[in-house]
C-alpha cells in the first residue's frame, strides 16, 4: 500500500517537472534573438531579430519617429545603433536594421495553425526589467478593420499578461516559434497580437525582400500509382518538378536535384511557384528549410539551402 502511494505521488510530479524543464530550455533558446529597443524620449519596448543580417521587427508605436535615436540592447549586453528602414503604422509594424555579427534570429512559425486553447508565451521588457516571461492560452482570433481604410486584418487574442515594455516582443507557441507580435496599442482585457503571417506577408511585399528562384520548375500531376503507394500523398494531385537550373543556380549543393518533385516547405503545401516564393520569403535567407520531395519514385525529406535556390533581385 505504501509503495503504491509513493509511486503515485512520484508520477504526479513527473509531468510538471518535464514541462518546466522543456519550457526553460525553450526560453533559453530564443532569448538571444529577443532585444530591448530604446527610443530616445519614449522609453523602451521589445524587438525580435527576424533575420541574422540584423533585421529586427517591432511595433510602429515603439519607434514612431524617424528622427529619434534608437538603440538595441542584446541579451549578451551588446548595444547597437538602429535605424528604421520601413514601417506600416496601420498594422503597427516597424522594421529596424543593425550592423553586427553573431546575431541569433528567432524562428518564425505559421500563425494560421493556431487554435483556441493553445499554450502561448510572451517575452518582453516591462518597466525596464529584461527578459520577463508570461504564459497563457489563445483566447481567439479576430478580424478587424484597419484605421482609415477599407482593408481588414487579423489579430490574436490571448490571456497572456502584458505590460508596457512588452510591445514589439514575440508571442511564442509551444515549439518556440514566433506566432505573433505583442501590440499593447490595441489593449483591452486580453493581450492582442499581430499574427506572424501578417508580418511575414508585409515583409515579403517590401522591395528589398523580393526574391526569385535559381531553379526552373514546372507543375506536374502525380500519378495515381504513386498516390496509392504513399498514403501521405493520397490528397495531393500535383507538385513542382525541378527541370533545370537557371544561370548561377547550384542544384547540386542546394539539396534538390533535377527530377525532384517538390511537394511542400516545412509541411506547408506548395501548389505553384508563387506559393513556394511566399514560403521562402518568410525565412532568413541564410537558413535552410525542409522540403518533402519525390525522388526516384520515393517520398523523402531533404534540407534545402535557401540561399542556394534563390537570388535577390
Radius of gyration of the chain (CA): 22
Of 111, 158, 167, 196, which residue is the catalytic one? 167
- Residue 211 pairs in a beta bridge with 312
Catalytic residue among 61, 173, 196, 260: 61
Q: Considering the candidates 92, 110, 173, 260, report the single residue annotated as catalytic.
A: 92
Cell output for 84: 528604421
Query: Which residue has 523580393 as its cell numbers?
Result: 210
d(CA 187, CA 123): 17
**From CA 313, how far away is CA 305, in angstroms rounded?**
18
**Alpha helices (H) in the chain, listed in sequence order:** 2-30, 196-204, 224-229, 251-254, 273-280, 306-309
Residue 167 annotated to the active site: yes
Check if 21 is active-site: no
73 among known catalytic residues: no
DSSP readout, 182-231? E-GGG-SSSEEEEEHHHHHHHHHTSGGG-EEESEEEEEEEPPHHHHHH-G
Q: Which of 143, 139, 144 is nearest to 161 (CA)?
A: 139
On the 0-12 / 13-18 / 19+ scale of CB atoms within 10 A, 222 is middle
Question: How many C-beta neighbours within 10 Å does residue 38 have?
Answer: 21
Catalytic residues: 61, 92, 167
Amino acid at each position: 500500500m505504501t509503495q503504491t502511494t509513493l509511486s503515485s505521488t512520484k508520477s504526479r510530479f513527473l509531468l510538471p517537472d518535464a514541462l518546466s524543464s522543456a519550457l526553460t530550455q525553450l526560453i533559453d533558446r530564443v532569448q538571444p534573438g529577443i532585444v530591448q529597443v530604446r527610443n530616445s524620449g519614449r522609453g523602451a519596448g521589445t524587438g525580435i531579430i527576424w533575420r541574422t543580417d540584423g533585421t529586427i521587427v517591432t511595433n510602429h508605436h515603439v519607434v514612431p519617429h524617424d528622427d529619434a535615436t534608437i538603440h538595441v540592447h542584446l541579451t549578451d549586453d551588446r548595444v547597437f545603433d538602429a535605424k528604421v528602414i520601413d514601417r506600416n503604422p496601420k498594422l503597427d509594424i516597424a522594421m529596424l536594421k543593425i550592423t553586427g555579427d553573431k546575431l541569433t534570429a528567432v524562428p518564425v512559425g505559421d500563425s494560421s495553425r493556431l487554435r483556441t486553447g493553445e499554450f502561448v508565451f510572451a517575452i518582453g521588457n516591462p518597466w525596464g526589467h529584461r527578459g520577463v516571461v508570461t504564459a497563457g492560452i489563445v483566447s481567439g482570433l479576430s478580424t478587424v478593420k484597419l484605421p482609415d481604410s477599407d482593408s481588414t486584418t487579423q489579430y490574436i487574442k490571448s490571456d497572456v499578461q502584458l505590460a508596457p515594455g512588452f510591445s514589439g516582443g514575440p508571442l511564442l507557441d509551444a515549439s518556440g516559434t514566433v506566432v505573433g507580435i505583442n501590440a499593447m496599442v490595441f489593449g483591452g482585457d486580453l493581450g492582442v497580437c499581430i499574427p506572424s503571417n501578417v508580418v511575414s506577408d508585409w515583409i515579403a511585399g517590401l522591395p528589398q525582400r523580393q526574391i526569385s528562384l535559381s531553379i526552373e520548375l514546372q507543375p506536374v500531376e502525380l500519378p495515381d500509382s504513386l498516390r496509392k503507394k504513399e498514403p501521405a500523398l493520397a490528397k495531393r494531385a500535383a507538385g513542382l518538378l525541378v527541370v533545370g537550373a537557371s544561370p548561377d543556380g547550384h542544384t547540386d549543393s542546394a539539396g534538390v536535384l533535377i527530377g525532384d518533385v517538390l511537394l511542400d516547405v516545412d509541411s506547408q503545401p506548395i501548389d505553384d511557384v508563387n506559393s513556394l516564393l511566399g514560403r521562402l520569403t518568410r525565412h532568413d535567407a541564410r537558413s535552410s528549410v525542409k522540403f518533402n520531395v519525390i525522388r526516384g519514385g520515393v517520398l523523402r525529406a531533404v534540407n534545402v539551402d535557401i540561399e542556394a535556390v534563390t537570388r535577390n533581385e
